[in-house]
A and B are shown apart, each in its own frame.
Chain A
Amino acid sequence: MSLSDTLRLSRRTLLRQLGATGVLVTLGPAGAWATQAMVQQAVRDRIGTREPQPHGVTLRLPEIAETGNSVPLTVTVDSPMTLDDHVLRLHVFIEGNPEPVAATYHFGVRAGKAEMSTRLRLARSQTVLALAEMSDGSVRSGTASILVTLGACVEEVWGD
């Protein structure tokens, strides 16, 4: 058997052994990551050709995520929430995840305050973008960046 044959065989055996113990580790999601193009398309689908103004939208997000599985996010939009001036919808984009959109929140005058809190799953370090569609047709934006650290023991689902 040639050297390359031996190496190939060893790698296959190793992979089979790893697979047997259920620890075939993949460092990425099953599919691809979201691309910039996908994010742009998702943004355009929601706000059309309107250009977001980068003010009035505040994101509270930890600087470092202890775990990407559950990251607390609070978004507040500066708005009196009156009939003449209120937030219609808030979109949250996560460009570093497999899918670029996290959620859309529908506010309206009855909300009283344009703020929501939730917990997100973040696959890796990235910038979270929030776009607020206002009642006057304008769009405001805000961002926050976060470092997502890799846990000690990397795993996929092994039915543990």
Chain B
Amino acid sequence: MRGHLCRLSLGVCAALLALHVASAGEPSPYVVEDRRSGYTYLSEDNQQLQDDDFANPGLLWVERGRELWQQIEGTAGTSCAGCHGDAATSMRGVRTRYPRFDPQGGKLINLEQQINRCRAERMHAPSYPYESDALLSLITFVALQSRGLPIDVRIDGPAQPFFAAGKVLYEQRRGQLDLACSHCHERYAGQRLRGDVISQGQINGFPIYRHTWQTLGSTHRMFAWCNTSVRAAPYPPGSDAYVNLELFVAWRGRGLPVEAPAVRR
């Protein structure tokens, strides 16, 4: 009974949201063509929690990020605000474009790495460790400035080979369970795995407050969790493998809205 209700309400939700036209002023819809945000797989309670501008737990990291944005650190005696001013203006749209090809490094760079590069090169400040509260706070704060804007990553030109590498990773079987990302998230998306309905595995909502983790987490944490779940050894956070994968998965969700901080199971 509940399964029927679930599918029916999801169907209704999807239909209503698909009718929602994304224009310059309106936020991008949660469903674009056949691409569905993880939001559409949430219970009503969790959708409400994500939309709650007070109680969404991810906002705790946003507030910390807001503080860190102003904080002067490093020997250059400046802060993020020192170069970038008001984040609402300067960071608008940034989250929609990462990961991007970086001519300086000759490969992709993601938002975490960009922030740490700014810290190293401009602020002469030490890098934040991956998945530290500080780094998570800053990327959530930056991502929030793009809330509602559609994911729009470049996969052409110099980014192309890295995108291709990410696609290979996505379709590669791994682990004791011998599954590829595509098995769950393409072939069986919408079907059940125990009590869960499998989502498309989109990352437009990241960084997410994940109930399973009882904290906020990044895309690389998610990839590592998925890899471990099929009993495969995960790649290190910030690895080329995961940044390439990030670009491919971001492209899979092109047009879906930035939802940071999203709430997920």
Interface of A toward B, CB cutoff 8 Å: 21-23, 62, 64, 66-67, 69-70, 72, 149-155, 158, 160
Contact = CB atoms under 8 A, between A and B. Distances in A.
30 contacts: A21-B176, A21-B228, A21-B233, A22-B228, A23-B231, A62-B43, A62-B45, A64-B2, A66-B42, A66-B45, A66-B46, A67-B212, A67-B265, A72-B49, A149-B194, A149-B195, A149-B196, A150-B194, A151-B265, A152-B194, A152-B195, A152-B196, A152-B229, A153-B193, A153-B225, A153-B229, A155-B212, A155-B229, A158-B228, A160-B224
Interface in B207-244: 211-212, 214, 221, 224-225, 228-229, 231, 233-234
A143 B254 CA distance: 45
B198 interface: yes
Interface of B: 2, 42-43, 45-46, 49, 176, 193-196, 198, 211-212, 214, 221, 224-225, 228-229, 231, 233-234, 265
B231 A151 contact: no
Nearest to A23: B231
B214 A69 contact: yes
Contacts of B212: 67, 69, 151, 155
Contact of B193 (A64, A72, A152): A152
Nearest to B6: A64
Given A70-B211, A149-B195, A21 B231 contact: yes
- Interface of chain B: mostly helix, strand, loop or mixed: loop
A160 B230 CA distance: 13
A70 B42 CA distance: 13
Given A62-B43, A155-B229, A69 B211 contact: yes
Contact of A160 (B2, B42, B176, B221): B221
A155 B195 CA distance: 14
A160 B228 contact: yes
A66 B265 contact: yes
A66 B263 CA distance: 12
Given A62-B43, A69-B211, A151 B195 contact: yes
Given A21-B231, A66-B43, A70-B211, 13 more contacts: A23-B231, A69-B211, A149-B195, A149-B196, A150-B194, A151-B196, A152-B195, A152-B196, A152-B229, A153-B229, A158-B228, A160-B225, A160-B234
Contacts of B194: 149-152, 154
A94 to B, nearest CB: 17
User: Considering the complex of A and B, which 10 residue pairs feature the smallest CB-CB distances, nearest first?
Assistant: A149-B195, A152-B193, A152-B196, A66-B43, A69-B211, A153-B229, A67-B211, A67-B265, A70-B211, A150-B195
A60 to B, nearest CB: 10
B258 to A, nearest CB: 23
A70 B2 CA distance: 20
A67 B42 CA distance: 10
Contacts of B228: 21-23, 158, 160
Contacts of B49: 72
A120 to B, nearest CB: 12
Contacts of A62: 43, 45
